[in-house]
Structures are given as structure tokens and as C-alpha cells.
Amino acid sequence: GQQVMQIPQYQHVQEGEDFTTYCNSSTTLSNIQWYKQRPGGHPVFLIQLVKSGEVKKQKRLTFQFGEAKKNSSLHITATQTTDVGTYFCAGGYGNKLVFGAGTILRVKS
């Protein structure tokens, strides 16, 4: 079925350390989107990747889409306390967007 696996479930890092979360689909995706949800908030769109092998950067965040369009990653360089929250990938299957389970990021200052 249409399912997106995301790991790790949880990561606790020291401020200044890097952080990476990974998503994988068993079937080819039309696109992948990334969202961030702060505690008590709602998911907020970060970025979309569409092309095979695409890499996009937003300041300290780097997003990659695999060559086979089945996996993706989000990497944060030198985490800050403002990065805390849950990061979700969402795989596009036609018009449907299926969310991964999310990775909860905690940053120790």
C-alpha cells in the first residue's frame, strides 16, 4: 500500500550538533514534501522536491530526493533550540499526500 516509513522516531541532540531524518517509500513517489510541527501547533510546509536526485537548501536545512524517487532526507546543520519540533515527510501518490510518522527533535542547550 501507500506508506511512507520515517526514521528515527525521536532524536535528542546537543545544540550545535547535526540532525538527519530519513523517509522511504516502497513505491515511486510523484513528489515529496517536508513539514515542521511545533509542540501544540499544526504542520507547516517547509519545502517540496519533485525531480529525481534533487537537492534543495534552506539556510541550515538540506533536503534530498533519491534518484529512484523512493527516499528522501532532511539534514539540519548545527542545530539550534529553535529547531525543536516534529519533522514530517509527506509522499505524493497522485493527488494523495501520505505522511510519515515524523521525527521528534529535541535540542539541549
Interface with another protein (CB under 8 A): 30-31, 33, 35, 41-45, 48, 50, 88, 90, 92, 94-102
Nearer to another protein, 19 or 88 (CB): 88
Nearer to another protein, 30 or 81 (CB): 30
- In the bound complex, what is the minimum distance in angstroms from residue 21's beta carbon to another protein? 14
Nearer to another protein, 17 or 84 (CB): 84
36-60 in b/e form (b: 16+ CB < 10 A) is beeeeeebeebeebeeeebeeeeee
Q: By the 8 A CB rule, do 88 and 37 touch?
A: yes
